[in-house]
Structure 1
């Protein structure tokens, strides 16, 4: 089952309960006054960001969410009970848009952040509200107001600290499995991994970070070619981007691969170029020292620094972990509450 990163759903807040027309009927009180109570307020619909959710899979099975309507008023000045709210839990990083206008209504980026997306209707007024000195027995009550309803689009952007990007078969899944406890499906896919994978990288002296294996880009991804356009949005919030380049490719191909990635990022969103970027040469266990030196010099001539690793043998992984830990610690000191995007 593929990763669902966008879904459409309907929300309906509860209607307000109707007001009541009632009069006191007490023994020895021949002309009792009005005592009809108000209707209860309809329930609201709330969206709540949940750090334990990582996909929109639940929206595949349910697309309608309704809050409870308020109860009607009763005699003896009894107000109707308010309707229960409807709580919809969504993943961190969810962007909510009005399906009709496309307007962004809320961006849920903080754990347990709550947003009222649809307000319940007010309850109607009972006839006790309409009593006056000239009209002591009003037979008027008002119906409850309808609750708000609308269709929404929810779009998920992964909230990861580090994003792994690269062309298909660049070694992202293998590196993720080595750096974290994640167990992505690893194979020589001819095209690309179909869904982002998340892993947690632990450090000895700083907080752990979330790593996202972003599905492989292909040239033209920003124009919707392949899966790139669908998933480019997931790198918008990552603060560090690791460009994984297959060092075992012949000639100048490693540098060309990097330029494809850089061009796709710039074409999709130039702001992404301002993030922290690390170029990581992968699969160096498949080449000898002379070939590795040639690849490094190829990047050096373009003024680009690289880090060489082999996820299979573990070469270079301690250095990569240390570098990521230092960068993240520095970023957290400078911008402890700021999220990219």
Structure 2
């Protein structure tokens, strides 16, 4: 089961109360105050784990609770602190606080998301909710004129709130296109990724990222997402929520079936997909992009390729055949110029 967004409720541990204890011994039946401090509450910590590729673990465990601190003890003993709890999330997880408030104009309850952390660095940690502090014992309130204080302070509550986790794949460039345009085949030919490939729509049901090698110490990453059809913004087909996985991409690669093997017009397909991307995010639609005119090995593609060149004169067009490999070397060289990065070993 692939889950790329989830809502959770998180509560860090409460600090333990201070103790109002007095020393009582065989030879000191009325000893002074010796109440200890309470322990600190445990914190909730997110760990960016590169071996985690989904948020499915939170489907049946969406209440994240840390341990409370223990109450202070006698003889100035500090209570045991609650244990911190670490939860793993995939790289690229965007964490937002869920805030519900009434709209003054409509008097309706509205929900908004306030981003608090963008977790992209592997093995890094983020304190989602900090544990409360332990209270002070009565030993702290003893003075020369106040020899038997009964005052103590309670522990403070831990931080608490509702949060939205949204997984966004980390890739330099992303394939976008209609179903059966050949995106998965291209990913498999350009990288070591092995996506499912079949001759029917919506073969790709979840995002996949592959690494493309440009040289011994030079590489980039490519993301493949499910196909988009007209009305995806209205949840037709698989919807367009998967576009979140190319929000980090610097370049968008619009893949089209130039031969029109599904009986559709390739130019119309591209315009529909571009429109769906714009409806999802104006920012995403403004990213640098190119056209990958796939399936040029088929005879029907030549006339459509000419139409593309006439319609999109200012856009870079890469005629390729993912099936035969034609044009892939030129595409790989262009991608190296756009997204290639030197890697230090």
TM-score normalised to structure 2 length = 0.87
Matched, 1:255 2:267: yes
Task: Give the structure 2 partner of residue 75 of structure 1.
Answer: 74
Decide whether aligned partners of structure 1 residues 283 and 155 sit closer, same or farther in structure 2, where only a CA change above 3 A counts.
same
Task: Give the structure 1 partner of residue 208 of structure 2.
Answer: 197
TM-superposed CA distance for 1:181, in Å, is 1.8
Decide whether aligned partners of structure 1 residues 259 and 229 sit closer, same or farther in structure 2, where only a CA change above 3 A counts.
same
- Asked if structure 2 preserves the Cα contact closer than 8 Å seen for 1:36 and 1:75, the reply is yes
* Aligned 1:182-261 pairs, distance under 5 A: 182-191=193-202, 193-249=204-260, 253-261=265-273
Q: List alignment gaps of at least 5 residues for structure 2.
A: 101-111
Separation in 1, partners of 2:221, 2:288: 16
Matched, 1:49 2:48: yes
- Asked if structure 2 preserves the Cα contact closer than 8 Å seen for 1:296 and 1:306, the reply is no
TM-superposed CA distance for 1:126, in Å, is 0.9
Residue 289 (structure 2) aligned to one of 274, 277, 296: 277
- Asked if structure 2 preserves the Cα contact closer than 8 Å seen for 1:215 and 1:228, the reply is no
Q: List alignment gaps of at least 5 residues for structure 1.
A: 337-341
- Asked if structure 1 preserves the Cα contact closer than 8 Å seen for 2:21 and 2:33, the reply is yes
TM-superposed CA distance for 1:306, in Å, is 1.5
TM-superposed CA distance for 1:139, in Å, is 2.4
Does the residue aligned with 1:318 lie in a helix, a strand or coil?
Answer: helix
Moved more, 134-143 or 275-284: 134-143
Task: State the Cα deviation string for residues 120-174 of structure 1 (Å, max 9, x = none).
Answer: 1111211101212222012232332222222221111111112111100001111
Task: State the Cα deviation string for residues 23-78 of structure 1 (Å, max 9, x = none).
Answer: 23355445421111100110111223233322212212322222121122111211
Matched, 1:324 2:335: yes
Separation in 1, partners of 2:216, 2:339: 11
Separation in 1, partners of 2:217, 2:301: 32
Aligned residues: 328
Separation in 2, partners of 1:312, 1:190: 17
- Asked if structure 2 preserves the Cα contact closer than 8 Å seen for 1:14 and 1:43, the reply is yes
Task: Select the structure that is richer in strand.
Answer: 2
TM-superposed CA distance for 1:206, in Å, is 4.6
Moved more, 312-321 or 293-302: 293-302
* Aligned 1:293-312 pairs, distance under 5 A: 293-302=302-311, 303=313, 304-312=315-323
Does the residue aligned with 1:326 lie in a helix, a strand or coil?
Answer: helix
Separation in 2, partners of 1:248, 1:207: 33
Matched, 1:131 2:142: yes
Separation in 2, partners of 1:56, 1:104: 18
- Asked if structure 1 preserves the Cα contact closer than 8 Å seen for 2:173 and 2:339, the reply is no
Task: Select the structure that is richer in helix.
Answer: 1
Task: State the Cα deviation string for residues 280-337 of structure 1 (Å, max 9, x = none).
Answer: 11122222xxx544233212212143111112211122222121112113xx69xx9x
- Asked if structure 2 preserves the Cα contact closer than 8 Å seen for 1:49 and 1:111, the reply is yes
Task: Give the structure 1 partner of residue 91 of structure 2.
Answer: 92
Task: Give the structure 2 partner of residue 339 of structure 1.
Answer: none
Task: Give the structure 1 partner of residue 104 of structure 2.
Answer: none
Separation in 1, partners of 2:278, 2:241: 16
Residue 180 (structure 2) aligned to one of 169, 183, 189: 169
Separation in 1, partners of 2:185, 2:224: 10
TM-score normalised to structure 1 length = 0.88
